[in-house]
Structure 1
């Protein structure tokens, strides 16, 4: 589950996984590389969904993924930054 703490850590390094790995390798216990990649993908998909026409299927799948892997607070924060 993507939590506020994980999102804050992701933002602290501006989404740069390599920078996080070099400067704060101990944070890998707080957020896995897979969760980091999920945040990258969700942010990209949200920009696609809000930035122009997309299919209803794409939007429904995105909403389901956000509901499944994010707390409501993180979901709102991701949607608000797009």
Structure 2
């Protein structure tokens, strides 16, 4: 149950945060280069390709699932009343 509840969070993080991070990267790197008077080439700025974005998005789901295993395992071993009180 704990893992199932984090799947939605992991999917939301993967589908929203990865594109936002790529956009932030595309904005911040040229701004940093411009601040010191450098014009950075496109090969420095465009480091993410479409095939790399799917594993990044799925990584958020994996991190959320792994993060839920410890509390989920504890709740499965604990008595019902104890687990409900700590929630």
- Tell me if TM exceeds 0.5: no
Q: TM-score, normalised by structure 1?
A: 0.36
Structure with the bigger RCO (C-alpha within 8 Å, sep 6+) is 2
Q: TM-score, normalised by structure 2?
A: 0.34
Which has the larger share of helix? 2
